[in-house]
């Protein structure tokens, strides 16, 4: 069978066993590039604003998901937010118990539309609640690599 011939019956297919080496390279995209660069270089969180809908997207988007306008206005949104929802993990991906539970939260960034899914730190599971006011804790600059993990976690804000 040549690559141009068409299979018309399932019985014409043949399995091939073996390994195919594959490599993936994911890019941040236009908006992600600047978003992660600001986190890495300046420990700042940026979003993009739609002037028509008056929404600030975090993570930033290059098109408004409501009106499809191209978004070119970037602005710093600060590093504080509110726990929108959360979950507490007691086991790892293999089902083995964790030494300490991890708390994952959807953090709505203040003044922005959207938010970041990230870890919470410096808080006990029993102290977490929806609407908890939090702030980002960044790694030291020398440790930052251009990843969302450059934000170490979000911790409760001091009152
Ligand atoms: Zn819009």
Summarised one tens digit per residue, pLDDT across range 75-85 is 999 999 999 99
SS3 24: coil
Please give the distance, rounded to the nearest whole angstrom, from the Cα atom of residue 31 to the centre of ligand 1: 16
d(CA 25, CA 28): 10
Average pLDDT over residues 58-64: 96
Does pLDDT of 158 surpass 90? no
pLDDT of residue 115: 95
Average pLDDT over residues 108-127: 96
Does pLDDT of 1 surpass 70? no
Please give the distance, rounded to the nearest whole angstrom, from the Cα atom of residue 70 to the centre of ligand 1: 8
Average pLDDT over residues 50-61: 96
Read off the DSSP letter of residue 148. G
- 75-84 exposure pattern, b = at least 16 Cβ within 10 A, e = fewer: eebebbbbbb
Choose the weakest-confidence range: 21-30, 78-87, 96-105, 107-116: 21-30
Average pLDDT over residues 91-109: 95
d(CA 73, CA 38): 15
Q: Any idea which residue has 């992660």 for tokens?
A: 36
Does pLDDT of 7 surpass 90? no
Does pLDDT of 141 surpass 70? yes
Q: Delineate the domains of the chain, giving CATH numbers in brackets.
A: 29-156 (2.40.50.140)
Average pLDDT over residues 141-158: 96
pLDDT of residue 127: 96
The model carries a pTM of 0.81
Please give the distance, rounded to the nearest whole angstrom, from the Cα atom of residue 49 to the centre of ligand 1: 8
Q: What average pLDDT is seen over the chain? A: 94
Please give the distance, rounded to the nearest whole angstrom, from the Cα atom of residue 60 to the centre of ligand 1: 13
Strand locations in 3-150 (E):
46-50, 55-58, 73-76, 80-91, 97-109, 113-120, 133-138
Confidence of residue 159 (pLDDT cuts 50, 70, 90): low
Please give the distance, rounded to the nearest whole angstrom, from the Cα atom of residue 26 to the centre of ligand 1: 27
Please give the distance, rounded to the nearest whole angstrom, from the Cα atom of residue 65 to the centre of ligand 1: 7
pLDDT above 90 covers what percent of the chain? 81
Please give the distance, rounded to the nearest whole angstrom, from the Cα atom of residue 71 to the centre of ligand 1: 8
């Amino acid at each position: 069978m040549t690559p141009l011939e068409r299979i018309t019956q399932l019985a014409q297919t043949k399995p091939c066993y073996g390994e195919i080496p594959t490599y993936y390279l994911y890019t941040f995209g236009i908006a992600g590039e600047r978003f992660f660069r600001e986190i890495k270089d300046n420990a700042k969180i940026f979003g993009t604003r739609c002037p028509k809908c008056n929404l600030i997207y975090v993570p930033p988007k290059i098109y408004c998901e409501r009106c499809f306008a191209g978004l070119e206005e970037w602005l710093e949104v600060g590093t504080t937010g509110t726990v929108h929802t959360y979950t507490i993990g007691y086991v790892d991906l293999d089902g083995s118990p964790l030494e300490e539970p991890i708390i994952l939260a959807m953090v709505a960034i203040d003044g922005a539309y959207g938010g970041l899914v990230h870890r919470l730190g410096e808080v006990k599971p029993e102290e977490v609640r929806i609407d908890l006011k939090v702030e980002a804790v960044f790694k030291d600059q020398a440790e930052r690599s251009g990843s969302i993990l450059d934000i170490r976690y979000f911790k409760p804000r001091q009152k």
